[in-house]
C-alpha cells in the first residue's frame, strides 16, 4: 500500500469512528466504501442493513443516556440545598 492509500484508509477509519461505528464494524465495512475525499459512501446498497443496524445501536445508546440524565436530574432536583457543609456528614452518621 502506498502513502496516499494509507492516508485514505486512515481518513476513512476516522470518519467511520466519528459516525459512531465500532472498530469491528469498520473492519467489515471499510473495504466496501468509496472515499471521494470528503465523505465515505457505500459502494453498494447491500451495506445499508449493516449501517442501519449501527444507527439503531446508536439510537439505543442515546436513549439510555437520556434516561440516565433524566434520573440524575430528578436526584439533583430532590436534593435540598445545604447551608451547612457538615450536613452530609451528619446525615450519613445518623444512619
Q: What band does 71 get if pLDDT is binned at 50, 70 and 90?
A: very high
Taking only the tens place, the pLDDT of each residue in 18-43 is: 999 999 989 988 888 888 777 788 88
What would the grid cell of residue 75 be? 436526584
Q: What band does 91 get if pLDDT is binned at 50, 70 and 90?
A: low
Q: What share of the chain is helix, strand, coil (3-state, %, to 5)?
A: 70, 5, 25
In DSSP terms, which residues pair with 40 in a beta bridge? Answer: 35
Structure-model confidence comparison of residues 94 and 59, the more confident one: 59
Query: What average pLDDT is seen over the chain?
Result: 86
Residues 6+ away with beta carbon under 8 Å from 26:
13, 16, 17
Amino acid at each position: 500500500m502506498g502513502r496516499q492509500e494509507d492516508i485514505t484508509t486512515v481518513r476513512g477509519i476516522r470518519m467511520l469512528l466519528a459516525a459512531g461505528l465500532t472498530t469491528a464494524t469498520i473492519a467489515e465495512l471499510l473495504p466496501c466504501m468509496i472515499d471521494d475525499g470528503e465523505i465515505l459512501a457505500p459502494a453498494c446498497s447491500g451495506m445499508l442493513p449493516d449501517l442501519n443496524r449501527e444507527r439503531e445501536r446508536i439510537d439505543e445508546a442515546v436513549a439510555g443516556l437520556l434516561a440516565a440524565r433524566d434520573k440524575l436530574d430528578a436526584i439533583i432536583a430532590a436534593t435540598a440545598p445545604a447551608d451547612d457543609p457538615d450536613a452530609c456528614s451528619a446525615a450519613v452518621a445518623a444512619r
